[in-house]
Amino acid sequence: MTQELLQALVWMDYRLAVLFTVLLPFVLLIWAFVQKADAMQRLLIIYWRVSSLLAITVYLMIGSLPVSFVSGILARILIPVSLWFWVDLNEEIADRSSSPLKWIFTSWRWAVSLYCGLGVLASIPFLQCAVSQETFATSFCQVWLDPPFGYKNFFHAASKPEFLGFLGITGLVIYVLYLGYFVLVRLGKQGRSAAEQ
């Protein structure tokens, strides 16, 4: 694969990520709120909590931290899990009468799950960027940092990459602690019910 093709694919992936993981769920959350679709609202709030790992990954990449390749793959695994894990929310959504909101919401859940699944498979070769500093410094890995630096230049032009990387690490530590608490404590108490979410 040529560097130009890889660069085009990376930029396409970031654009798809903005569409599927930011814009569409934001519109759906507002729509679910207006329609008083409680189960969809709760599921989308859970989604936003889980998908915050994608934002953390962007800040880790701005800081040129190799762990960003692991957090990116982990986010793509956790997002579909968060969308389909909750038995009570799945039942409430399935029992809801047909409507444009239900159809678009269900279509988005399938589309983002497919996008994340394909993203995990496509990202596997780039895991080597997380374990070897020499590999991380190659253009094979560095091409993934271009879109995050574009984001930095647009939203954080005056900030140093090191500071934004520090924010990413701080966010990652908080995320891992919360995920650990959920898996080790809350999951055992509530199972696959989102009632306490």
Residue 43's CB: how many other CB atoms inside 10 A? 28
Q: Report the pLDDT value the prediction gives residue 194, as an integer from 0 to 100.
A: 81
Q: Report the pLDDT value the prediction gives residue 196, as an integer from 0 to 100.
A: 59
Contact 135, 74 (CB under 8 A): no
- The per-residue DSSP string of 27-78 comes to HHHHHHHHTT-HHHHHHHHHHHHHHHHHHHHHHHHHTT-TTHHHHHHHHHHH
Q: How far apart are CA 59 and CA 171, in angstroms?
A: 9
Q: Report the pLDDT value the prediction gives residue 125, as an integer from 0 to 100.
A: 95
Q: Report the pLDDT value the prediction gives residue 197, as an integer from 0 to 100.
A: 46
Q: Report the pLDDT value the prediction gives residue 137, as an integer from 0 to 100.
A: 94
Contact 74, 124 (CB under 8 A): no
pTM of the model: 0.93
How far is CA 125 from each of CA 2, 119, 159, rounded to the nearest angstrom? 15, 11, 31
Torsion, CA 163, CA 177, CA 124, CA 43, rounded to 10: -110
Mean pLDDT, each 10-residue run in order, the chain (197 residues):
92 96 98 96 97 98 97 98 95 95 97 97 96 94 96 95 98 97 89 73
- Residue 197, classed as helix, strand or coil, is coil
